[in-house]
């Protein structure tokens, strides 16, 4: 019996031998790749179909996102109500999401019901009709939601900082408008659906306590569909960043809070600096004990929270600092962000702080691979970015071994104020 009066020994996460459970690889009859992680104690599973059908491939704004959203809203045989009733009857959850390059359909369900659910997903991917009435409701709801959100300074700032970094005509910098919703038509959605879903490039990710016949079931529902028969069209979208790097936007004359965004272009995950920059970002503003939080929230009290992150885009990326602060302390907040950049450039990081960040990042990794759904999600991220199987272990080694001198050199390379776009929205 465990003696509860004696504290357990403290473990050093840096010494942990973290292992990312490998996936099993299969192909369906039509060549569709399947990445599977068979793990977990509960009879639940996740099936995610990933299509290269994000807004990278659309010819008109909002077509990709609208097509993805309305996949559940009607087929030749079922109404939107019937589709939702079917999944709810089996206690399943079917979600969809549209990203910059990819779009997904994700099914969470009990393992024993998968044979009742997969054929309906196959039906959605071949027989969706995007009813006019459903499209009209969607446009009306989205325009109303947009009008409400445009009154929020943080929403406006998130839209504009991407436009400044990439340009409005770039898929990463494009954003919604009421006019763009008005221009959507049913035939545009059907054409995009046929090209990028029914006849598109598809990858399957499966995780959980998998039935013994999961691959035959996937093959029965998806192996005869015309996936992956044609190569993806190549679209070149070079960024066109804004000429001016400082912008002040008054969104609400009476506003008492400002949204602050500082951002600079950054390479994607294939660059050698990316894993190292993740460590530097954690120190800078990547977790609750970061320097930005300690200074601007804890010491100065300018904000409830301030964070920095590196965007997870496939083609290119950006290093972004994000916060909301009182209107009267906006300039002071920005000044302190640059001050923390300067400290990282000029002063080596202490061993104690670096040790703390190593422990935090490894602890976060432990949580990120705790369970089959988290494991397959990490593999999906690596596969979609075209990374090697050992990327996890190389990144882990960087966390464990990077030195204060390497981090200081990295700060001098990237954390230069003149490289950052500076946006304030009030």
Q: What is the average pLDDT value for the chain, to the nearest integer?
A: 95
Looking at residue 213, its pLDDT comes to 94
Q: Where in the chain is the domain with CATH 3.30.830.10?
A: 19-222, 246-425
Instruction: Tell me the per-residue pLDDT of 225-284, one tens digit each, with 9 for 90 and over.
Output: 999 988 888 888 999 999 999 999 999 888 899 999 999 999 999 999 999 999 999 999
Looking at residue 10, its pLDDT comes to 77
Full-prediction pTM beyond 0.85?
yes
HEC sequence for the chain: CCCCCCCCCCCCHHHCCCCCCCCEEEECCCCCEEEEEECCCCCEEEEEEEECCCCCCCCCCCHHHHHHHHHHCEECCCEHHHHHHHHHHCCCEEEEEECCCCEEEEEEEEHHHHHHHHHHHHHHHHHECCCHHHHHHHHHHHHHHHHHHCCCHHHHHHHHHHHHHHCCCCCCCCCCCHHHHHCCCHHHHHHHHHHHHHCCCEEEEEEECCCCCHHHHHHHHHCCCCCCCCCCCCCCCCCCCCCCCEEEECCCCCCCEEEEEEEEEECCCCCCHHHHHHHHHHHHHHCCCCHHHHHHHHHCCCCCCEEEEECCCCCCEEEEEEEEEEHHHHHHHHHHHHHHHHHHHHCCCCHHHHHHHHHHHHHHHHHHCCCHHHHHHHHHHHHHCCCCCCHHHHHHHHHHHCCHHHHHHHHHHHCCHHHCEEEEEC
- Give the fold, CATH level 3, of 19-222: Cytochrome Bc1 Complex; Chain A, domain 1 (3.30.830)
- Would you tell me which CATH number, out of the four given (3.30.830.10, 3.30.230.10, 3.30.590.20, 3.40.50.1450), belongs to the domain 246-425? 3.30.830.10
Looking at residue 255, its pLDDT comes to 86
Looking at residue 17, its pLDDT comes to 83
Q: Is the pLDDT of residue 391 over 90?
A: yes
Looking at residue 9, its pLDDT comes to 81
Mean pLDDT of 198-214: 96
Residue 356 buriedness (CB in 10 A; 0-12 / 13-18 / 19+): middle
Q: Report the percentage of the chain scoring pLDDT > 70.
A: 100
Q: Is the pLDDT of residue 13 over 80?
A: no
Looking at residue 244, its pLDDT comes to 93
Instruction: Tell me the per-residue pLDDT of 286-332, one tens digit each, with 9 for 90 and over.
Output: 999 999 999 999 999 999 999 999 999 999 999 999 999 999 999 99
Instruction: Tell me the per-residue pLDDT of 25-75, one tens digit each, with 9 for 90 and over.
Output: 999 999 999 999 999 889 999 999 999 999 999 999 999 999 999 999 999
Mean pLDDT of 208-232: 93
**pLDDT band for position 158 (cuts 50, 70, 90):** very high
Looking at residue 8, its pLDDT comes to 82
Looking at residue 128, its pLDDT comes to 97
Looking at residue 234, its pLDDT comes to 87
């Amino acid at each position: 019996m465990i003696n509860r009066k004696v504290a357990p020994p403290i473990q050093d996460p840096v010494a942990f031998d973290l292992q990312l459970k490998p996936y099993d690889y299969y192909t369906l009859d039509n060549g569709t790749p399947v990445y599977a992680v068979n793990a977990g104690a509960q009879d639940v599973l996740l099936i995610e179909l990933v299509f290269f059908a994000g807004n990278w491939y659309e010819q008109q704004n909002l077509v990709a996102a609208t097509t993805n959203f309305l996949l559940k809203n009607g087929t030749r045989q079922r109404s939107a109500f019937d589709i939702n009733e079917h999944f709810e009857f089996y206690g399943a959850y079917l979600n969809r999401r549209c990203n910059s390059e990819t779009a997904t359909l994700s099914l969470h369900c009990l393992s024993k019901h998968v044979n009742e659910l997969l054929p309906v997903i196959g039906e959605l991917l071949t027989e969706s009709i995007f009813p006019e009435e459903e499209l009209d409701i969607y446009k009306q709801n989205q325009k109303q939601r947009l009008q409400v959100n445009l009154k929020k300074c943080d929403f406006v700032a998130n839209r504009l900082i991407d436009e400044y970094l990439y340009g409005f005509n770039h898929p990463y910098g494009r954003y919604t408008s009421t006019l763009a919703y008005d221009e959507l038509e049913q035939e545009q959605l059907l054409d995009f659906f046929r090209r990028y879903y029914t006849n598109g490039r598809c990858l399957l990710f499966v995780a959980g306590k998998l039935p013994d016949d999961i691959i035959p079931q996937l093959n029965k529902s998806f192996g005869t569909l015309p996936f992956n028969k044609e190569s993806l069209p190549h679209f070149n979208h070079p960024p066109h960043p804004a000429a001016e790097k400082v912008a002040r936007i008054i969104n609400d004359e009476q506003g008492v809070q400002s949204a602050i965004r500082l951002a600079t272009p950054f390479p994607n995950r294939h660059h050698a600096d990316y894993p190292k920059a993740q460590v530097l970002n954690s120190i800078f503003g990547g977790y609750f004990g970061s320097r930005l939080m300690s200074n601007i929230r804890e010491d100065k009290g300018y904000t409830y929270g301030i964070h920095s992150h590196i965007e997870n885009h496939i083609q290119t990326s950006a290093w972004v600092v994000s916060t909301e602060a009182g209107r009267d302390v906006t300039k002071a907040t920005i000044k302190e962000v640059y001050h923390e950049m300067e400290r990282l450039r000029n002063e080596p990081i202490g061993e104690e702080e670096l040790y703390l960040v190593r422990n935090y990042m490894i602890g976060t990794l432990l949580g990120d691979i705790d369970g089959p759904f988290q494991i397959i999600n990490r593999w999906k991220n690596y596969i979609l970015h075209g990374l090697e199987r050992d990327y996890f272990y190389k990144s882990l080694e960087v966390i464990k071994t990077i030195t204060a001198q390497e981090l200081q050199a990295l700060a001098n390379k990237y954390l230069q104020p003149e490289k950052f776009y500076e946006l304030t929205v009030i």
